[in-house]
Structure 1
Amino acid sequence: MAEKKAFVLRVSPEMLKELEKWAQEDFRSVNGQIEYLLSEALKKRKRAGGKGKE
């Protein structure tokens, strides 16, 4: 597995609460949920022919 890089993400308390709820529903950690959502967004962007196809 590729090495992962840590970084700080600032979100509002309301957004964090919703992410925690969503992650729990999907049986993921909040970090795992955010990673999943970003991965899906990148896949969607590539399928749509968006910039960043490198």
Structure 2
Amino acid sequence: MPAAPHPHDSGKDAHQATGFAAIALLGVMSMALFYALVLAERLLLPWVRETSAAR
């Protein structure tokens, strides 16, 4: 008769895949937020690029 699987080992691979997907999703979301803020800055504060380009 085979031994029953340990309850803590049953979803190990599923948790690892979920964790990897969560970290990847956070990375994509952070890049999207960064570029959204860059776009908002360019649209709302156009004079900042003009004055900071001369420095």
Q: Quick one: higher RCO (CA 8 Å, sep 6+), 1 or 2? A: 1
- In the superposition, the TM-score normalised over structure 1's length comes to 0.39
Bigger fraction of residues in helix: 2
TM-score normalised over the length of structure 2: 0.39
